[in-house]
Amino acid sequence: MQTNNSPFSRFTRESGALMHLSIPIIFTQLATQAMGFVDTTMAGQVSAADLAAIALGTSLWIPVLLLLRGTIMALTPVVAFHRGARDLKSISTECLQMTWLALLFSVLLIAYLLNAKPLLEWIGVAQEIIPIASDYAIALAFGVPGIALFYIMNGFCEGMNNTKAPMIISVFGLLVNIPINYVLIYGKFGLPEMGAVGCGWATSIVYWMMSGLLYSYIKTHHHYKRIIQFSDIKPKPSQMVHLLKLGLPIGMNIAVCGSIFAVIALLIGRIGAENVAAAQIALNVSSMTYVIPMSISFGITIRVGHALGARDHLGAVERSKIGIVVAALISLVSIVMFLTIPDTIIRLYTSDPAVSATAATLLLFTAMYQFSDALQTSANGALRGYKDTKVPMILAIASYWGLALPLGIVLGLTDHIIPAMGEKGFWVGILTGLSVAAALMLLRLRFVIKRHQTAIEPTPLVQPQAA
């Protein structure tokens, strides 16, 4: 008979609390990803040039957006820590200083997007696409502050253990994005027909709307409205630098590691169109399933941050371990799905026999790295809870760019080790890089936990020696 304090009961309680936090985050991430999917499919109905413009504009936009998102993500463990310590004044200070920091980032990002045209010309993009892609980027620039503010308030809510409100608003934003896209793309109600550029304006409008809704929720919430005190809004450079040191490694981690798959797709483009199509299917499916361990890692960050703020150090260790086990177990669902119904998945994308055969092989490799990906992502989430971000960033970049990509290039495009494997070589590189990343992240977490325990252990009294 199990007692309330048995390992099994503790596991079920913690895993239940973790998934209660993480499931809304999963839906939030899926909703924001789906906005890009809606833009692509709707713009593709206008013309090939509009579709290409969306693809190019997104390629310029996503890496810097991930950098902004990751930097602001530091707010979640910070708020979680102060909530655990019941230090509401510090929550207000951290949120307002992160707002100043995000607005400074927004200025740089807006300047970057406004200069999209010369950048596209320098890359050598086809001339007929440049005007549409640059205007699309300009339209996105209008929404940058709205996106930054939404991420800040989302981080506040997550740190306060509330992931449902951002989820509801994100899903609502997705639903509203579709009709606004339609009106602006095709020029309804007397508005000019903007094509792909309309998608950029729709995205900006929707994010400003989402920010307004989340702000209204926070300011009318019976508890939250007393936390944020605008009397403390004056910029504090030292506090901003502290948040930047914590958040920038997270942003670089996400941006650099997220962009490697775009680089792999470009390199596979040297092999052939069918190979690119098959690789894109596998990458798209992988990115969708990655949402689950990534969201669970956010939940782990919150749970560990709460425990540390409450000085429950043993609880933080237990939450880290259980979170990693939960993420690993859930990854088995993706593995089974990729191994048992690959044809069903591929038919959602294509009916081409050659592309389908190659994609099926790549899904086999994708299944092989799901477990490693879950381990390294969840361990990284626990490390964020301990506010350890710099070393994990270095480990991730080394695993992806120092191992996975070079090995993929050597195996996929050269005969240096074995005859060139084509796109399969890149997947061997990804599998190897993620496996090494998982081992390194787990070792780092073990080291951080031991260091933390050593720091809090009281120094034993020196006993007088017997005569």
Mean pLDDT of 422-441: 90
End-to-end Cα distance, the chain: 52
Percent of the chain scoring above 90 in pLDDT = 24
**Are 79 and 114 a contacting pair, CB within 8 Å?**
no
Is the pLDDT assigned to residue 18 strictly greater than 80? yes
Stretch among 158-167, 182-191, 323-332 having the lowest mean pLDDT: 182-191
How high is the pLDDT of residue 214?
Answer: 94
Q: Which of 69-83, 353-367, 373-387 has the highest mean pLDDT?
A: 373-387
How high is the pLDDT of residue 375?
Answer: 95
| Closest by Cα among 162, 182, 142 to 224 | 162
Mean pLDDT of 343-361: 81
Q: Which of 136-140, 256-260, 440-444, 456-460 has the highest mean pLDDT?
A: 440-444
CA 459 to chain centre: 41
**Are 81 and 305 a contacting pair, CB within 8 Å?**
yes
Residue range 101-123, pLDDT digits in tens = 999 989 998 998 888 888 777 76
How high is the pLDDT of residue 376?
Answer: 93
How high is the pLDDT of residue 377?
Answer: 92
Mean pLDDT of 298-323: 89
How high is the pLDDT of residue 47?
Answer: 66
- Average pLDDT of every residue of the chain: 83
Distance CA 413, CA 74 (A): 38
Q: Which of 52-56, 157-161, 223-227 has the highest mean pLDDT?
A: 157-161
Distance CA 47, CA 194 (A): 12
Query: What is the domain partition of the chain in residue ranges?
Result: 8-235, 246-453
Is the pLDDT assigned to residue 346 strictly greater than 90? no
Q: What single-letter amino acid sits at 398?
A: A
Number of H helices, E strands in the chain: 16, 0
Distance CA 277, CA 265 (A): 9
Higher pLDDT, 35 or 236: 236
CB-CB neighbours of 16 under 10 Å: 10
**Are 53 and 196 a contacting pair, CB within 8 Å?**
yes
How high is the pLDDT of residue 462?
Answer: 47
Is the pLDDT assigned to residue 40 strictly greater than 80? no
Percent of the chain scoring above 70 in pLDDT = 89
**Are 210 and 173 a contacting pair, CB within 8 Å?**
yes
Q: What is the DSSP letter of 402?
A: I
Is the pLDDT assigned to residue 373 strictly greater than 70? yes
Burial environment of residue 27 by CB neighbours within 10 A (0 to 12, 13 to 18, 19 or more): buried
Mean pLDDT of 375-390: 91
How high is the pLDDT of residue 457?
Answer: 61
Task: Tell me the pLDDT band of 1, cut-offs 50, 70 and 90.
Answer: very low
Distance CA 64, CA 136 (A): 15
CA angle, 421 then 427 then 430, to 5° = 135
How high is the pLDDT of residue 318?
Answer: 92
Higher pLDDT, 79 or 462: 79
| Closest by Cα among 408, 444, 443, 415 to 429 | 408
CA 64 to chain centre: 12
Mean pLDDT of 120-138: 77
How high is the pLDDT of residue 266?
Answer: 63
How high is the pLDDT of residue 464?
Answer: 46
How high is the pLDDT of residue 145?
Answer: 92
How high is the pLDDT of residue 467?
Answer: 35
Mean pLDDT of 439-466: 75
Task: Tell me the pLDDT band of 385, cut-offs 50, 70 and 90.
Answer: confident
How high is the pLDDT of residue 168?
Answer: 92
How high is the pLDDT of residue 463?
Answer: 47
Is the pLDDT assigned to residue 3 strictly greater than 60? no
Output the CA–CA distances (angstroms, integers) from residue 36 to 55, 71, 196, 391, 455, in the order listed.
10, 21, 12, 31, 45
Task: Tell me the pLDDT band of 62, cut-offs 50, 70 and 90.
Answer: confident
Mean pLDDT of 38-42: 68
